[in-house]
């Protein structure tokens, strides 16, 4: 099991095998939810790099996701690259472009704002996210308030193509962030989180470290937006509201600040829980599902104040159990 967790190719094979089972055994709604879960995994892991490992507090992650989504969607409608059956490579390229533009936006926002700390940084990033949403709402070239329709997406079987595309990026996101955190740059991120003044005294350029984390986090948020755009075939600015950023923060906090495994598990929980409670609303006629969902989060935070995994990974528990 540890080998699968440490080897990207084995992890990808395991995910593809699971996707093949879901394609045969479950309906289209479950398949849609599975792809949304993968998108949320990328969002949670990318935000974890800033909020968890670097100790900053960003509330504008939905803005970077929107940049990647709209850039990828606009490019695909104006410049279709490859025909079937090679279209998945086109979507990989669109995702890269969307991610790079989101990273550029992250650099523009991060360079001046990451000199701030705590609540001030949260307000600045929140403002950026809302600015992006309002700009998109007022831009006719990308559909304005009506949104963008007819965005090219994977052809049939849609789920398999979309799932493979999302799975590839989940694996890339996980292992890139994992390697970065274990590198010299990652140690700088952790030192900023633990004690920024001490890190500066040791000669670390804390602003540069925070900007690097912010740019990489924005890149993967843009990737998540691109996958979302091409799988749903429709974009609306309201999909990238403040609530989307808050959901991403909840995933990071619930899973554990600085835990990749926790971010992945929390992304599954946050995505599945409201939908799992939907039958209760249909049965009672009263919308109790969000109340129960919120109470569940409160109980989890009371019982596990450091999150599901704290700052540990699932490999730590597996290794401890096997030893």
Digits of tens for pLDDT over the chain (323 positions)?
Answer: 445 556 778 888 888 898 889 888 888 888 889 999 999 999 999 999 999 898 888 888 999 999 999 999 998 888 776 666 566 678 888 899 999 999 999 999 888 887 777 778 888 888 888 898 999 998 888 888 888 888 887 776 778 888 888 999 999 999 999 999 988 888 888 898 888 888 888 888 888 888 899 999 999 999 999 999 988 888 998 889 888 888 898 899 888 888 888 899 999 988 988 888 777 777 777 666 677 777 877 887 788 878 888 777 776 666 666 55
Residue 251 lies in a domain: no
User: For the chain, what is the domain count?
Assistant: 1
Q: Can you give the pLDDT at residue 1?
A: 44
Secondary structure E strands in 6-56: none
- Count Cβ atoms below 10 Å from residue 184 Cβ, excluding itself: 7
Residue 287 lies in a domain: no
Q: Can you give the pLDDT at residue 286?
A: 67
Domain of 72, in residue numbers: 2-241
Phi/psi of residue 272, nearest 5 degrees: -80, -40
- Count Cβ atoms below 10 Å from residue 164 Cβ, excluding itself: 17
Residue 275 lies in a domain: no
Which residue, among 42, 31, 19, 175, has the nearest Cα to 98 in the 3D structure?
A: 42
Residue 282 lies in a domain: no
Distance CA 22, CA 281 (A): 26
Residue 280 lies in a domain: no
Residue 183 lies in a domain: yes
Q: How far apart are the first and last CA of the chain?
A: 14
Predicted structure pTM score = 0.90
Q: Can you give the pLDDT at residue 66?
A: 94
Distance CA 258, CA 53 (A): 5
Contacts of 212 (CB under 8 A, 6+ apart): 185, 189
Residue 317 lies in a domain: no
SS3 (DSSP) at 148: strand
Residue 309 lies in a domain: no
């Amino acid at each position: 099991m540890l080998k699968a967790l440490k080897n990207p190719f084995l992890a990808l094979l395991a995910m593809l095998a699971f996707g093949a089972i879901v394609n045969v055994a479950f309906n289209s709604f479950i398949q849609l939810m599975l792809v949304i879960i993968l998108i949320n995994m990328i969002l949670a892991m990318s935000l974890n790099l800033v909020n968890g490992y670097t100790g900053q507090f960003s509330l504008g992650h939905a803005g970077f996701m929107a940049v990647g989504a709209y850039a990828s969607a606009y490019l695909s409608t104006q410049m279709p690259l490859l025909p079937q059956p090679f279209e998945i490579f086109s979507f990989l390229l669109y995702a890269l472009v969307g991610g790079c533009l989101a990273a550029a936006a992250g650099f523009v926002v991060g360079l001046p704002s990451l000199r701030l700390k705590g609540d001030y940084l949260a307000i600045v990033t929140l403002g950026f996210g809302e600015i992006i949403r309002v700009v998109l709402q007022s831009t006719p070239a990308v559909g304005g308030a009506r949104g963008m329709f007819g965005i090219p997406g994977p052809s049939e079987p849609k789920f398999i193509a979309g799932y493979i595309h999302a799975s590839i990026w989940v694996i890339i996101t996980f292992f890139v962030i994992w390697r970065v955190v274990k590198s010299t740059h990652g140690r700088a991120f952790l030192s900023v989180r633990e004690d920024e003044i001490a890190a500066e005294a040791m000669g670390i350029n804390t602003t540069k470290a925070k900007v690097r984390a912010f740019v990489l986090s924005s890149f993967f948020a843009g990737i998540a937006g691109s996958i979302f755009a091409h799988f749903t075939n429709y974009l609306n600015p309201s999909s990238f509201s403040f609530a989307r950023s808050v959901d991403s923060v909840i995933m990071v906090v619930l899973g554990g600040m600085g835990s990749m495994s926790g971010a992945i598990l929390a992304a599954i929980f946050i995505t599945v829980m409201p939908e799992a409670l939907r039958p209760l609303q249909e049965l009672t006629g009263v919308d109790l599902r969000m109340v129960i969902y919120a109470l569940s989060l409160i109980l989890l935070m009371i019982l596990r104040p450091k999150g599901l995994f704290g700052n540990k990974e699932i490999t730590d528990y597996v290794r401890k159990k096997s030893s």
